[in-house]
Amino acid sequence: MSNPAQPPASETMATTEVTVWSLEQTSPADLRPAAVPEGDLRIVRSEVPLPEFNRFLYTAVGGDIRWTDRLGMTYEQWREELERPGAETWVAYASGTPAGYVQLDPQDDGVVEILYFGLIPAFRGRRIGGHLLSYGVARAWDLAERWPDRPATKRVWLHTCSKDGPYAMDNYLRRGFRLFDTKTEVEPDVATPGPWPGAYGA
C-alpha cells in the first residue's frame, strides 16, 4: 500500500538545486566602474511607476535564465512595489531600444538592494552589462540625493545564483562587490515562459 502522504512518483515535482551568492559594497569607494561602451547607449530612469513596463523588463531579461518568482504577482503587488519611496528602475536603451535594466529596492538603515539587474539576450556580449551595473550601483549610492526623506546609503548589496548567466559573478566582482554569504536552495524545476509562451525554447 502506498503512503497517502506521498504522491506517486509520476506526480512528484522535479526540483533543481540552486546556489545563491550574496555580495555587498559598504562604501561608494568600493565601486570600480566599467568602461562606457561605444555606440548609441543611454541609461534613463523610468520615473512613472508602470507595472506593465517592469513586468516586460523582468520577463524579457529573465526568460532564458528561469526568473519565475514574480510571474504570479498581481498588478497591485507590482504597483505597490514600484511606488515605494526610493524605489527606482534605470533602463538602458541601445539605439532607442530597451536593452536591460537595474531595479533598486530601498531598505532600512540606509541599505539599498540591487533587486534586479540584467540584459535582454539580444544585447548580451556587447560590453553593456558592466556599464549598466556600474551606473545602477552609483545611483544606489546617491539615492538620497533624489529622495530627501531617505537616509544616506551606507550599504549596497545584491544576490546572484547559479541560474544566472556565466559572466554575472565576474561582473559583480569586477565592479567591487565582495561575497558575504553562500547558500544552497532547492527550487521547483518549472518552465519559464519568458516574454511570451515558448520564448527561448522554454
What pLDDT digit, counting tens, does each position of 62-99 carry?
Answer: 888 878 888 889 999 999 999 999 999 999 999 999 99
Task: Say what the pTM is.
Answer: 0.85
Spelled out in words, what is the top-level CATH class assigned to the domain 12-197? alpha beta
Q: Phi, psi (5° rounding) for residue 45? A: -80, 130
- Listed in order, strand segments (DSSP E) in the chain are 15-25, 41-45, 88-94, 97-106, 111-119, 155-161, 178-188
| pLDDT confidence of residue 1 | 35
Instruction: Look at residues 87, 79, 84, 91 and name the one whose alpha carbon lies nearest to residue 52.
Output: 79
Q: Which three cell numbers stand for residue 200?
A: 527561448
CA–CA dist 86, 91 (Å, integer): 16
Instruction: Look at residues 57, 78, 76, 77 and name the one whose alpha carbon lies nearest to residue 67.
Output: 57
User: Burial of 121 by CB count in 10 Å (0-12 exposed, 13-18 middle, 19+ buried)?
Assistant: middle
Instruction: Look at residues 149, 174, 189, 197 and name the one whose alpha carbon lies nearest to residue 23.
Output: 174
Is the Cβ–Cβ distance between 116 and 105 less than 8 Å?
no
- The residue ranges of the chain whose pLDDT is under 50 are 1-10, 201-202
